[in-house]
């Protein structure tokens, strides 16, 4: 069975959210970061960077939340059927982890936030989910980041009505409530 390594208040909850959305069986391995469990040789053999999340499936090991999300979508979302659809999904996952995440960086926040939020707001005015009518891995990556922003930075979506609507819809999903909403456990 797939094992998901993570800790409380970590990005492992994003992967867990997608596992729940896909309805896959998995086992959680809860790491005690205070006790530096993630820096012990047994975990470094899974992720040499000593960070969570990571997954194992038999002998296969994978780390970086974005790579894990894309692996799961590749394997379990048959509707992302063409190279173009898969590339678009990758675009959104990379955008979430490498570009939208700049909102969390104090030195880039002021400059980046209005332009990223304006563009996303226009996109959500036109379609319910990032890749059209259907919830995909793109929504897990971008939606989790958009949900974390008000939780962690106390930044709201005033003036960005379509983002606010989107985040409301995302956080109401049962799989989100069970995972990010409840904390990783
Ligand atoms: N880009 C990585 C970030 C991983 C990361 O920084 N994880 C944090 C928890 S959210 C961690 O393991 N921190 C412990 C440490 O750096 O010692 C991902 O998305 O997987």
In the prediction, which pLDDT does 87 show? 98
Would you say the CB of residue 10 lies under 6 angstroms from ligand 1? yes
Q: Indicate the number of domains in the chain.
A: 2
What residue has token string 């996303």? 120
Average model confidence (pLDDT) across the chain: 96
Mean pLDDT of 161-167: 98
Q: Does residue 90 share a domain with residue 153?
A: yes
Question: What confidence tens digit (pLDDT) does each residue in 141-152 have?
Answer: 999 999 999 999
Would you say the CB of residue 56 lies under 6 angstroms from ligand 1? no
Contacts for 142 with CB less than 8 Å, ≥ 6 apart: 92, 95, 96, 100, 120, 130
Q: Does residue 166 share a domain with residue 100?
A: yes
Q: Is residue 180 part of a domain?
A: no
Domain of 129, in residue numbers: 80-173
Closest CA to 23 of 8, 2, 7, 5: 2
Question: What confidence tens digit (pLDDT) does each residue in 100-121 have?
Answer: 999 999 999 999 999 999 999 9
In the prediction, which pLDDT does 184 show? 78
Mean pLDDT of 24-41: 96
Q: Is residue 178 part of a domain?
A: no
pLDDT level of residue 185 (50, 70, 90 thresholds)? confident
Q: Is residue 184 part of a domain?
A: no
Of 48, 75, 102, which one is at a domain's C-terminal end? 75
Name the residue at shortest CA distance from atom 5 of ligand 1.
51
Q: Does residue 95 share a domain with residue 135?
A: yes
Judged against a pLDDT cut of 90, whether residue 49 lies above it is answered with yes
CATH number of residue 10's parent domain: 3.40.30.10
Mean pLDDT of 125-134: 97
Of 52, 75, 98, which one is at a domain's C-terminal end? 75
Name the residue at shortest CA distance from atom 15 of ligand 1.
51
Q: Does residue 12 share a domain with residue 89?
A: no
Question: What confidence tens digit (pLDDT) does each residue in 152-163 have?
Answer: 998 899 999 999
Q: Does residue 127 share a domain with residue 159?
A: yes
In the prediction, which pLDDT does 183 show? 84
Would you say the CB of residue 11 lies under 6 angstroms from ligand 1? yes
**How large is the C-alpha radius of gyration of the chain?**
16
CATH number of residue 104's parent domain: 1.20.1050.10
Q: Is residue 183 part of a domain?
A: no
Would you say the CB of residue 54 lies under 6 angstroms from ligand 1? no
Angle at 106 between CA 168 and CA 54, to 5 degrees: 65
Q: Does residue 165 share a domain with residue 95?
A: yes
Q: Does residue 104 share a domain with residue 66?
A: no
Judged against a pLDDT cut of 90, whether residue 69 lies above it is answered with yes
Of 21, 42, 75, which one is at a domain's C-terminal end? 75
Q: Is residue 20 part of a domain?
A: yes
């Amino acid at each position: 069975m797939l094992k998901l390594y993570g800790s409380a208040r970590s990005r492992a909850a994003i992967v867990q959210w997608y596992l729940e959305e896909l309805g896959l069986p998995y086992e959680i391995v809860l790491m005690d970061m205070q006790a530096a469990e993630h820096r012990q040789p047994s975990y470094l053999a899974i992720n040499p960077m000593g960070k969570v999340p990571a997954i194992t499936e038999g002998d296969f090991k994978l780390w970086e939340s974005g790579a894990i999300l894309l692996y799961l979508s590749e394997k379990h979302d048959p509707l992302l059927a063409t190279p173009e659809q898969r590339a678009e999904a990758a675009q959104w996952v990379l955008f979430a982890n490498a570009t939208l995440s700049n909102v969390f960086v104090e030195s880039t926040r002021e400059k980046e936030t209005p332009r990223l939020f304006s563009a996303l707001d226009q996109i959500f005015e036109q379609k319910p989910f990032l890749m059209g009518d259907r919830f995909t891995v793109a929504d897990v990556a971008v939606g989790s980041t958009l949900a974390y922003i008000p939780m962690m930075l106390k930044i709201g979506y005033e003036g960005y009505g379509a983002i606010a609507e989107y985040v409301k819809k995302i956080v109401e999903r049962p799989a989100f409530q069970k995972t990010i909403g409840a904390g990783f456990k």
